[in-house]
Structure formats: C-alpha cells, structure tokens
Amino acid sequence: MTVLVVGSVALDSVETPFGKAEDVLGGSATFFSASASHLTQVNVVGVVGNDYPLDKLQPLTKRGVDLSGIETADGASFRWRGRYRHDLNSAETLETHLGVFSHFSPKVPAAFQAPDFLFLANIDPRLQLDVLQQVKRPKLVACDTMNFWIESRRPDLLTLLEHVDLITLNDGEARQLTEQSNLIAAAKWIMARGPKHVIIKKGEHGAFLFTNDRIFYAPAYPLESVFDPTGAGDSFAGGFIGYLARSGDISEANMRRAVVYGSAMGSFAVEQFSVERLMTVTKAEIDQRVREFRQLVAFEEELPA
C-alpha cells in the first residue's frame, strides 16, 4: 500500500563528538521516506529552494519513492545547523533558516490524493489540517508535532487531534501538550481528544504505544556508538508506518510489530550522518535487527516449581 508523507526537505549541518557534516540531506520527509521506502511505496510532498541538490535524492527514487510532489520554489532551502554534546541526548540548535519553507503551502498532486496511509510530519498544524482536506480519507492518518507548535498553535493542534488516528511525540512534548507529568496520564489525555493510538518516544529509552487500556513498550536498540541522533524520530515513524503499509494491517498486534520496525529503523539512522545508513541498510540487516529486539526483551516462562 502507498504512504503519503508531507514534511520538510532540508539541508542539515551537524556537529557531533565524532565529526562534522555540512549541508547534508535532512528534513522530516527525507528521513521518513528514506526509512519507509525499505518497506513500502512512498510519495512525498514538500518544498525546496532552487539551491537544493535534488540529484542527491536519486537513491530514494531508485527505491520507488515518488518525489514529484516536491515543489521547487525561488529562494533558499530550509537549513538547520545543530550540535550534539557528549551525551547525544539533545541537539543544540545553532541556526535555523526556514527559507522557502516559511511560505510552504502543501499541494497534494492528483496522483497522491488517495493514499492508504498518511504521515503528517512536523509542520504547522494549520498546514497539516489543510493537507487532510486535500486527500480521500486514508486507512490511517498519523501526525507528529513539536514544542514550537504546542506553544504557538495549540488550538489548531487540538483541532488536528480530532482528525488523526495516531500521534507520535516525544516524552517532553507529551508532557508539555497535556500538562501531565505521568506518561500514561498524558496518553489518556490525548486519546480522549481523538487519536485511538499514541506513540510516546523516549529517545535512548525506547517508545511506548498506547491503545485503549493496552500499553506496548519497545526499548531503543542498545548501540555501543551513536554517531548522529538527527532524524531518529522521523526514521522511527517511517519504519512504523512503512511496516503497517506493507501489510495493510492496523490491528494492535500488528502495530506492536510496527513499533519494533520503527525502533530498528531509528537505530540504523543514528549510526551515520544524515540518511547515509538508511541508504545502505539491507532487508536482511533490518530483519536481523528485529530478531535482536526480540532477544533483547525475551524471557522464558517460569518452569513449574
């Protein structure tokens, strides 16, 4: 089944304790599609400036990603510059230049207007709502958001919640949105406002999937060296939605498997700068990592006393 993602296509400059990268591929839609395209057909809607090295996205096209919904506008591309300190847990933003992204008005091409799955990556909730009006109702609509929109677009975000099936957000954003310090209480707060499922991402501490009164937990894959955390969340979302779309099954049991695929894709993303590792990872490596997730949490039934 096909997935439509609407989000940013950017150029990142990143400094970590292990090295530097300048003007490398970045943005939520880029990470999402680099991840999801291992599992299903992905169509992208976004905007870049006429300085964007679109040729560098060709490896995605080869994997079947349809980039024809990326509009090229006059002006500079969205650029982000950030730095991670030794703990790698939080990025310090050094510069943000929105460029043409500041006037982004997503236009979903006719060929993309009946997606099976829709991921509204982290953009202005007003634009996320606008995209929803341009498409035939998908099998599943998921969205992401961030602290900036929670502060500045709270009413729009609450309206959006009424129209999505699932939201992914990190623990800090969940607490900020709901004003609940406990994550179970936060998830209940959100589910009472629309989404049937809530995924709360805790970075190196894993992710929760909440569905009604059931909780699933997947750890982060324990990596001995995390190289660059940028894009981990969007790569997670790409693995999660991509897995659901591959099977077309949105049962809670299948969502659990999808969270593990999301965690696996997130763990690959952080092994190199940008989408480098997502470009080279193979199906066999993905399947092997999913098996390792099972080993990581497996414990046998107790023997009878």
Closer of 36 and 183 to a copy of itself (Cβ): 183
Maximum CA pair distance of the chain?
Answer: 73
Residues that bind a copy of itself (CB under 8 A): 86-87, 181-185, 202, 205-206, 208, 214-219, 222-226, 247, 253, 256-257, 259-260, 290, 294-300, 302-303
For 94, other C-beta atoms within 10 Å of its C-beta total 12
Nearer to a copy of itself, 282 or 295 (CB): 295
Helices assigned H by DSSP within the chain: 28-36, 58-62, 125-134, 147-152, 154-161, 171-178, 183-191, 232-247, 252-269, 276-280, 283-297
**In whole angstroms, what is the distance from residue 128 CA to residue 8 CA?**
12
241 and 250 in contact (C-beta within 8 Å)? Answer: no
Nearest to 70 by CA among 79, 80, 60: 60
In whole angstroms, the minimum distance from the beta carbon of 90 to a copy of itself comes to 14
Residues in the chain, overall count: 305
Rounded to the nearest whole angstrom, what is the least distance from the CB of residue 204 to a copy of itself in the complex? 8
- C-alpha 199, offset from chain centre: 11
Nearest to 57 by CA among 26, 86, 78: 26
Q: Pairing state of beta strands 19-26 and 66-73?
A: unpaired
Nearest CB to a copy of itself, comparing residues 20 and 205: 205
Q: φ, ψ for residue 188 (rounded to 5)?
A: -60, -40
**Distance of closest approach, residue 69 Cβ to a copy of itself, in angstroms:** 28
**Tokens 């707060």 map to which residue?**
189
User: Please, which residue, 181 or 282, has the CB nearer to a copy of itself?
Assistant: 181
- Paired tokens of 240: 């999660």
Question: Smallest distance, Å, CB 265 to a copy of itself?
Answer: 15
Q: Which is nearer to a copy of itself, 86 or 136 (CB)?
A: 86
Least distance CB 248 / a copy of itself (angstroms): 12
The residue among 81 and 246 lying less far from a copy of itself, judged by its C-beta, is 246
Q: Between 32 and 208, whose beta carbon lies closer to a copy of itself?
A: 208
Structure tokens that stand for 222 in this block: 């324990």
Shortest distance, CB of residue 260 to a copy of itself, whole angstroms? Answer: 6
Smallest distance, a copy of itself to C-beta of residue 38, A:
14
